[in-house]
């Protein structure tokens, strides 16, 4: 896949990389492993802050069957310490340079165009923008580099428990707002086949609404784009499995259900378990073709 990508990026035609490459999500649900190179991410903050630890973790993810590694240098958690462009670049570029030779695509989770540009220059393949391309500079960069971009739905106000949005129909409302996002991307010269939509699980949504977004994930295909869900270890599970407080097993169950309902990419922390969940969901639908 990486050769294919390089060919289309550097090949004679210098053609459209994203629209001509057979991405992992076109063959079933792809697994995106979260690699936060931050001291304060909500679930794994500090665990891979050291570049060597991060590279080791990336190798483990690849060995476990991950399709994409999502590298983040700034937490999106409400109240997280803002990070300068320089600091975010310092955090992620050494890791990106070390992992882009591994057998997985690499995405960069950033809201800053300057960081995204440095990441693409360091070999990243995909931009993951939780603001949904709010920044015109980011739209210009993504169009110019012709790379896939994840556009996540969020709310305009800061994402914290006090900002609860009143949705009539959370799925219909989020699809309507993501439609605007996709049209804005297209008007900036980003072809729709490069856009991956994401309902923004937990970003300004109540727990019940986050579960509904997962349950009705297939409806997001009305936008004509692959659909990514980022449900891993999020607070909604705390209301389901109250006793243990453990969110890992609940995440894996949700991954299997979301994959079965049509999610194209699942963004998760625990790769082996969630790769297994995706494979089970796929096999249950295709046992006749896959198993003796
Ligand atoms: N596309 C997309 N990107 C995301 N980035 C961060 C988080 C928050 O999770 P995490 O990266 O684990 O935490 P933090 O932002 O604190 O690093 N969630 C999403 C998501 O749901 N979708």
> Helical H runs in the chain?
2-10, 17-20, 51-63, 85-99, 113-121, 136-145, 170-187, 207-215, 248-260, 271-290
Ligand 1 center from residue 11 Cα (angstroms): 33
User: Catalytic residue positions?
Assistant: 234, 267
Among protein residues, the one whose CA lies closest to atom 19 of ligand 1:
230
What does the pLDDT read at residue 3? 54
What does the pLDDT read at residue 111? 97
Report the predicted TM-score, pTM, of the whole model to 2 decimal places: 0.91
Specify the DSSP element, H or E, that contains 189. Answer: none
ipTM: 0.97
Residues in the chain: 292
What does the pLDDT read at residue 135? 97
Residues (pLDDT < 70) of the chain are 1-21, 49, 242-243
Task: Give the whole-angstrom CA distance, residue 225 versus residue 146.
Answer: 16
What does the pLDDT read at residue 158? 74
Q: Which residues pair with 149 in a beta bridge?
A: 127, 195
What does the pLDDT read at residue 16? 39
252-275 as b/e: b if 16+ CB within 10 A: bebbbbbbbbebbbbbbbbbbebb
What does the pLDDT read at residue 44? 74
CA nearest neighbour of 190 among 227, 145, 224: 145
Among protein residues, the one whose CA lies closest to atom 22 of ligand 1:
230
Pocket test for ligand 1, best of 25, 32, 39, 72 (most atoms within 8 A of CB): 72
What does the pLDDT read at residue 2? 55
Give CA torsion, residues 207, 210, 216, 220, to 10 deg. 160
Cβ–Cβ under 8 Å, residues 261 and 217: yes
What does the pLDDT read at residue 20? 54
Task: Give the whole-angstrom CA distance, residue 115 versus residue 11.
Answer: 26
Ligand 1 center from residue 292 Cα (angstroms): 39
């Amino acid at each position: 896949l990486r050769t294919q990508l390089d060919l289309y990026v550097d090949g004679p035609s210098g053609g459209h990389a994203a629209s001509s490459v057979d991405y992992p999500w076109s063959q079933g649900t792809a697994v995106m492993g979260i690699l936060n190179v931050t001291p304060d991410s909500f679930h794994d903050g500090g665990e891979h802050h050291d570049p060597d630890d991060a590279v080791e973790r990336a190798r483990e993810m690849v060995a476990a069957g991950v399709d994409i590694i999502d590298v983040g240098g700034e937490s999106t958690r409400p109240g997280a310490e803002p990070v300068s462009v320089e600091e975010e670049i310092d955090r992620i570029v050494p890791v990106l340079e070390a992992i882009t030779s591994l057998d997985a695509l690499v995405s960069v989770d950033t809201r800053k165009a300057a960081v995204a540009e440095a990441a693409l220059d360091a070999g990243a393949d995909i931009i993951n923008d939780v603001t949904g391309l709010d920044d015109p500079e980011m739209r210009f960069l993504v169009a110019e580099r012709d790379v896939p971009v994840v556009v996540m739905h969020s709310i305009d106000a800061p994402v914290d428990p006090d900002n609860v949005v009143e949705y009539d129909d959370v799925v219909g409302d989020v699809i309507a707002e993501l439609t605007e996002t996709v049209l804005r991307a297209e008007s900036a010269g980003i072809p729709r086949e490069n856009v991956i939509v994401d309902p923004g699980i937990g970003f300004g949504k109540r727990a019940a609404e986050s579960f509904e977004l997962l349950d009705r994930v297939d409806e997001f295909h009305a936008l004509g784009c692959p659909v990514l869900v980022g449900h891993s270890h999020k607070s909604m599970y705390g209301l389901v499995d109250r006793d243990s407080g453990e969110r890992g097993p609940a995440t894996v169950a949700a991954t299997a259900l979301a994959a079965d309902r049509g999610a194209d990419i699942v963004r998760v922390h625990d790769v082996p378990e969630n790769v297994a969940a995706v494979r089970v969901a796929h096999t249950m639908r295709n046992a006749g073709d896959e198993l003796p």
